Structure formats: structure tokens, C-alpha cells
């Protein structure tokens, strides 16, 4: 790749789980940290969030365990179609994506990955940044999350 992703930008491991309460409690014990807050984001129509090229509509329980500049994210999807439900249905509990912060090179990295044949599974925009889940499961064994800012 011309726009390589380097290890300095490695910021997250995201897990999809069927039971976020159990996973959050177990990971907290493992790391000897307080159990993280679990946010329950209900499904909403959001034109700034897409899944497989269409506006996404799904809910997600979400928790973050902070480890310095690195995070472990836990995701429990609802019954609506999403990248997280797709992964859970296909694989069960597991590592959904690795996240990388690439700064201003975000569009160049995404463009190169598309040219390599990797589909953009989910794109989300929020104030000040964005996240893009790139479908690399077949080749890398995991998806990638490409972000301009952490």
C-alpha cells in the first residue's frame, strides 16, 4: 500500500458479544479495573451512519475499557441489520475489528483499500471525526476501523 497503516495508530480492539453484561464484568476482572459503563443506544434513523451502502438503523449496547491511549470496546448488537449483528451471526463472540487512527490520510487509505477490493461495510460520521469499518474478514480474519481521529 502507498498509504500504509502503521502501528503508532493502533488504537482499539473491538469485540462483538452476545452478553455485554457478562463480558464487561469478566474483562474488568481480567484487567483489574472497574466494570465499564454500558451505554444502550436505541435504534434511530441517522443519515450519517450507513451499513452496506444504505442508511443504517440499529441499536447497540456499547462499553469501553480504557487502557492508556488504547481501548477495548465491547459491542452487543440488537436484532436489526448492522456490521456487528452480521459478524455475531456469522462467527459468534469474537474480535470484530482492529481500529487505526490515520489522521488526514483517512480518505487515501480508504480509497486504496477499496481499490484492493475491500468493501466499506459501515461508515459513521460524528462531530469532529468518523469511523469506517472495512470488510477484510476473509483475508485478514478481522475487519478494520479506519479513523482520522481517535
Q: What is the pLDDT of residues 68-116, one digit of tens each?
A: 888 999 999 999 999 999 999 999 999 999 999 999 999 999 999 999 9
Element (H, E) at 22: helix 20-31
Cell of residue 118, nine digits? 475491500
Has this prediction a pTM greater than 0.75? yes
Instruction: Tell me the CB-side half-sphere exposure of residue 7, using CA atoms within 13 A.
Output: 0
Domains of the chain: 7-140 (3.10.180.10)
Amino acid at each position: 500500500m502507498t498509504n500504509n497503516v502503521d502501528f503508532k495508530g493502533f488504537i482499539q480492539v473491538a469485540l462483538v458479544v452476545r452478553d455485554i453484561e457478562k463480558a464487561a464484568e469478566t474483562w474488568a476482572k481480567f484487567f483489574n479495573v472497574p466494570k465499564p459503563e454500558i451505554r444502550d443506544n436505541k435504534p434511530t434513523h441517522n443519515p450519517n451512519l450507513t451499513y452496506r451502502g444504505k442508511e443504517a438503523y440499529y441499536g447497540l449496547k456499547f462499553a469501553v475499557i480504557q487502557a492508556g491511549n488504547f481501548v477495548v470496546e465491547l459491542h452487543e448488537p440488537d436484532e436489526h441489520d448492522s456490521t456487528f449483528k452480521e459478524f455475531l451471526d456469522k462467527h459468534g463472540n469474537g474480535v470484530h475489528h482492529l481500529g487505526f487512527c490515520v489522521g488526514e490520510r483517512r480518505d487515501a487509505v480508504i480509497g486504496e483499500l477499496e481499490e484492493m477490493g475491500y468493501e466499506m461495510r459501515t461508515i459513521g460520521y460524528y462531530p469532529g471525526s468518523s469511523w469506517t469499518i472495512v470488510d477484510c474478514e476473509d483475508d485478514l480474519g478481522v475487519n478494520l476501523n479506519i479513523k482520522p481521529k481517535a
